[in-house]
Chains A and B, each alone.
Chain A
Amino acid sequence: GAGVSQSPSNKVTEKGKDVELRCDPISGHTALYWYRQSLGQGLEFLIYFQGNSAPDKSGLPSDRFSAERTGGSVSTLTIQRTQQEDSAVYLCASRFTTAGELFFGEGSRLTVL
């Protein structure tokens, strides 16, 4: 596609349920990033992929959070046993390996009741 695509755009879930958020990066972009944006807050780095490997997963807030990337393309962020504090917009971004610009998707808004 022309841009970074994320789904679902909105997700409402109950506390304790698992959720999966999907990111489809721009074709040919080998680097993929997940960020979290809480209400009124900045962009918090979660994890970064180069190809299918994750050299930096230092931003994952707990072991309830995991992410994978397959085929050097689509990535899935999984949150297990969701908590209310997980409510946020989860943003995915991609870029070419040597270019500075990150291209962001429109995000997945997660609400945990």
Chain B
Amino acid sequence: QQQVKQSPQSLIVQKGGISIINCAYENTAFDYFPWYQQFPGKGPALLIAIRPDVSEKKEGRFTISFNKSAKQFSLHIMDSQPGDSATYFCAASKDDNTDKLIFGTGTRLQVFP
């Protein structure tokens, strides 16, 4: 009930292409779904987040698509750039201060010029 499953484990994309990372959750009580970006040697940093009252959220080249009935959400990176090369983690929790974020296992994205 607490797992968040993430795929793929690694992703190689050409510059300008679209990167897509998928996550699935089990706990229907989850109502906060963030994506974190982590560069080598750094801590993860919030990239974009969505709550289930909307099916899509876009910030610049980054879009979260959310499918509540399927209990799935995904991150799309449009016009991928070499600077996007990092590890991406999806996460989920109940949106209150008593709950912890449950993270996926991460996707290592490499964007080649």
Contact = CB atoms under 8 A, between A and B. Distances in A.
B59 to A, nearest CB: 13
Contacts of A44: 103
A50 B98 contact: yes
A45 B97 CA distance: 15
Interface string B80-105: 00000000010101011110111111
A101 B49 contact: yes
Interface in A73-113: 91, 93, 95-98, 100-107
B104 A31 contact: no
Interface string A1-16: 0001000000000000
Contacts of A95: 97
Nearest to A92: B43
B113 to A, nearest CB: 25
A50 B43 contact: no
A101 B42 CA distance: 17
Contacts, number: 59
B104 A42 contact: yes
A106 B42 CA distance: 5
B88 to A, nearest CB: 11
B112 interface: no
Interface string B48-84: 0100000000000000000000000000000000000
Contacts of B104: 42
A41 B105 contact: yes
25 contacts: A4-B43, A30-B97, A33-B100, A33-B101, A35-B103, A41-B105, A41-B106, A43-B44, A43-B89, A43-B101, A45-B103, A48-B100, A50-B98, A56-B100, A95-B97, A98-B96, A98-B97, A100-B32, A100-B49, A100-B93, A103-B46, A104-B36, A104-B45, A105-B43, A106-B43
Interface of A: 4, 30-31, 33, 35, 41-45, 48, 50, 55-56, 59, 91, 93, 95-98, 100-107
